[in-house]
Structure 1
Amino acid sequence: MTSIDRFARWTRLVLGTAALGAVLSACAPLMVGGALTGAMVATDRRTSGAQLDDQGIELRAANRLGDTFGGRARINVTSYNRRVLLTGEVANERDRQLAADTVKAIDNVNMVYNELGITNSPTFTEKAADTLLTGRVKAGLVDTKKLSANSFKVVSERATVYLMGRVTQREADQATDVARTTKGAQRVVRVFEILSEEELARMAIK
């Protein structure tokens, strides 16, 4: 499969997900990070318990934030190995802190990365550009032979790329280089849990 074919496949997948998110967001301004699939579970570096916890965290966070903010905020919740990334927009600093405190109080949450902006919601064009950017970064990770693309979670907001995952320093640096050199990326934020090469080798044996 060529790089173009891989990119096209990723783009179709991401655009399909975005379309579903758009339908859901018509009813609520909150979005969760993504569902598990059998193939992803098999290659994921998180334990099965952590993967289930992440699903539960995303759902509970979306519900609680929805109850707290209603339609006055757009908050995306992405949990990876019980570490939660918040992206989107709120009206003021008080709401920004309230969102973080709300998520911190959820069972099994170990850490919250609050990347909420105090600004207006992005335009349709900006959202489409972020969707395309996420697809390009994922395609770049797939094409990097020494990386396991399934070990990374990619989120894009206003041309900022957020990278999550349980990876070694070597993998983190390689993935960061991919994201930084991807067309449309203006900033890269690393939200990694760093493993040693020895830990990674032990995981591969299991």
Structure 2
Amino acid sequence: MQKFSTRRVGALLLAASTLAATLAGCAPVVLGGVALSGIVAADRRTTGTQVEDESIELHAVNLLHGHYGDRIHVNITSYNRQVLLTGEVPTAADRQRVQELVRGLENVRSVVNELGALPNTSLAQRSNDTFITGKVRASLVDAKDLTANAFKVVTERGVVYLLGRVTQREAQRAASLASGVTGVVKVVRVFESLSEEELSRMSIIRPDTAGNGNASPR
């Protein structure tokens, strides 16, 4: 049984392989980051920030496993040094403690704590969440008016969390697409806002990054 598993969900085809990895073993603490290879250039974060986010996720996994072992199920997703915590812990005190531990890590600037004081979800539920993530990613890829790689998608108990540096138009469009996916209970935005002017300047400075990549329910 694997102790850790990295979710590397791209579009719908990649979701199938991710689902197989999930079924291969339990994952009490899960990384939320995607592979850096081939993605660094297609991201609205700087390369340095992407590396920092990966480092934050890895350090958080090790830290929480050292404190809790397999007694908790926490998904850790860092985007632009803002960490989203999803999953389940035994008590409200554990929920607060996990937040404090992660907040104390180097380079973490804020934490969005969406942990539930609940029993750990079943393998079937986690597999369904992975499948939903894949479908949401596919809908973003299919949308001609969005840059899919500007978004990171996390699903927990049917709730879809959307992260990224996006404009208001992009945020609304992505949330609308995600909410229309079968099985989605709610969509929560964990975005950082960009103005259309900022996005235009970014595209001019980094034309190769025009490609694909605080919490409030919509």
TM-score with structure 2 setting the length = 0.85
Residue segments in structure 2 that go unaligned for 5+ positions in a row: 1-9, 206-218
Residue segments in structure 1 that go unaligned for 5+ positions in a row: 1-8
Preserved contact between residue 23 and residue 127 of structure 2 (Cα < 8 Å): no
Preserved contact between residue 80 and residue 164 of structure 1 (Cα < 8 Å): yes
Q: Which amino acid aligns with 2:16?
A: L
> Matches of 1:140 and 1:35 in 2, distance apart?
18
Preserved contact between residue 21 and residue 31 of structure 1 (Cα < 8 Å): no
> In structure 2, the residue corresponding to 1:171 is in which secondary structure?
helix
Q: Per-residue displacement from partner, 1:122-173 (whole Å, max 9, x unpaired)?
A: 2222122111111111111111111000000000011100000000011000
Preserved contact between residue 73 and residue 88 of structure 2 (Cα < 8 Å): yes
**Correspondence for 1:42:** 41
**Correspondence for 2:103:** 104
Residue 93 of structure 1 deviates from its aligned partner by: 0.4
Preserved contact between residue 154 and residue 162 of structure 1 (Cα < 8 Å): yes
**Correspondence for 1:5:** none
Preserved contact between residue 168 and residue 197 of structure 1 (Cα < 8 Å): yes
Which moved further from structure 2: 149-158 or 126-135? 126-135
**Correspondence for 2:182:** 183
**Correspondence for 1:19:** 20
Q: For 1:3-152, what aligned pairs fall within 5 Å after superposition?
A: 10-23=11-24, 26=26, 29-152=28-151
Question: Which protein is richer in helix relative to its size?
Answer: 1
RMSD: 1.5
> Matches of 2:43 and 2:123 in 1, distance apart?
32
Preserved contact between residue 165 and residue 192 of structure 2 (Cα < 8 Å): yes
Residue 21 of structure 1 deviates from its aligned partner by: 4.4
Q: Per-residue displacement from partner, 1:150-201 (whole Å, max 9, x unpaired)?
A: 0000000111000000000110000000011111111011000011111101
Which moved further from structure 2: 153-162 or 124-133? 124-133
Q: Which has the higher contact order (CA 8 A, sep 6+)?
A: 2
> Matches of 1:167 and 1:10 in 2, distance apart?
19
- Kindly, what percent of the aligned residue pairs are identical? 49
Q: Which amino acid aligns with 2:80?
A: N
Q: Per-residue displacement from partner, 1:27-78 (whole Å, max 9, x unpaired)?
A: x621111343333111100000100000000000001111111121111101
> Matches of 1:178 and 1:170 in 2, distance apart?
12
> Matches of 2:195 and 2:52 in 1, distance apart?
24
The reply to whether residue 160 of structure 1 matches residue 159 of structure 2 is yes
TM-score with structure 1 setting the length = 0.90
> Matches of 1:113 and 1:32 in 2, distance apart?
15
> In structure 2, the residue corresponding to 1:39 is in which secondary structure?
coil
Residue correspondences, number: 196
